Amino acid sequence: MKPSDKTILIVDDDQDYLFQLKSKLEKFGFKTLTAEGQKEAEALIEKTKPDLAILDLMMENEDSGFILCYKLKKKYPDVPIIIATGVTAETGISFDIYDENNRKWIKADCFLDKGVRTEVLKEEIDKLLILH
């Protein structure tokens, strides 16, 4: 498996984060698709099936990432999803992703903090791509 065969969809409303993650992933040799919100991403997946998706949680609404995740899994059950968010246990405001009950709901394959090191992210992506 060569990274260059794989397309990763990145969805985040922080354009800087989007840009940085995109260049990181392209450096690893992946192809990327980007969207700045749930709506834009939904339109995108109508036409294209990515090999993996990395989603932010709070975008247009505080649960945008969750709804997107749900729709993505419904359309492409075999596409692994990483939820990368800045909202971690520290906040507990709207969505505690460490709560078992929420995890059951959000059918993501992996949860990562946005500040995670690049190597860790790469490892997770590779793991998920091999499994699927």
Encoded tokens for 95: 């969505």
Q: Give the ranges where 1-132 is alpha helix by DSSP (H).
A: 15-27, 38-47, 64-75, 100-105, 118-131
Encoded tokens for 29: 């040799």
* Rounded Cα–Cα distance for residues 112 and 31 (Å): 21
State which residue, 92 or 127, has the beta carbon closest to other proteins: 92
Decide if residue 126 touches other proteins (CB under 8 A). no
Torsion, CA 11, CA 125, CA 111, CA 50, rounded to 10: 40
State which residue, 116 or 127, has the beta carbon closest to other proteins: 116
Site string for other proteins, 11-50 (x = CB under 8 A): --xxxxx-xx--x---x--------xx-x-----------
Instruction: Pick out residues in 77-106 that bind other proteins (CB under 8 A).
Output: 86-87, 90-93, 100-101, 105
- List of residues contacting other proteins (CB under 8 A): 13-17, 19-20, 23, 27, 36-37, 39, 59-61, 63, 67, 70-71, 74, 86-87, 90-93, 100-101, 105, 114-115
